[in-house]
Amino acid sequence: MKATIDRNGCIGCGLCASICPEVFCMADDNLAQVCGDVTEETRDSVQEAKESCPVSVIDTEE
C-alpha cells in the first residue's frame, strides 16, 4: 500500500501524524506529509488516519 497527501487541501490539523506517526509527519510549513512507508504493521492505522482526516486529503492505493 502507498499513502499520499494532497498538501494543497491539508489544513495542518496534525491528526494523521498523531494517529500514525510512523507514516505521517508535519513538515516545516505545518502541513502533513508522508514521511515513512506503509507496512503490514501500520496498514490499519494508515486507514484510520485516512478515514479521520477532516478534509479527506489522504489517499491510499495498493
Check residue 7 and give its pLDDT: 97
- Residue 37 CA to its chain's centroid (Å): 11
Indicate whether 42 belongs to any domain: yes
In a domain, 9, yes or no: yes
Query: In total, how many domains does the chain have?
Result: 1
Instruction: List the one residue out of 32, 45, 33, 31 whose CA is nearest residue 1.
Output: 45
- CATH value at residue 44: 3.30.70.20
Q: What is the model's pLDDT at position 22?
A: 98
Mean pLDDT, consecutive 10-residue stretches, the chain (62 aa), reads: 97 98 98 98 98 98 92
For residues 36 and 17, what is the distance between their CA atoms, to the nearest angstrom?
11
**Inside any domain, residue 32:** yes
> Does residue 36 belong to any structural domain of this protein?
yes
Task: Indicate whether 62 belongs to any domain.
Answer: no
Domain range for 32 is 2-57
Name, in order, each residue with C-beta under 8 angstroms of 58's C-beta and a sequence gap of 6 or more.
3, 4, 5, 16, 24, 46, 49, 50
Predicted local distance difference test score (pLDDT) of residue 32: 98
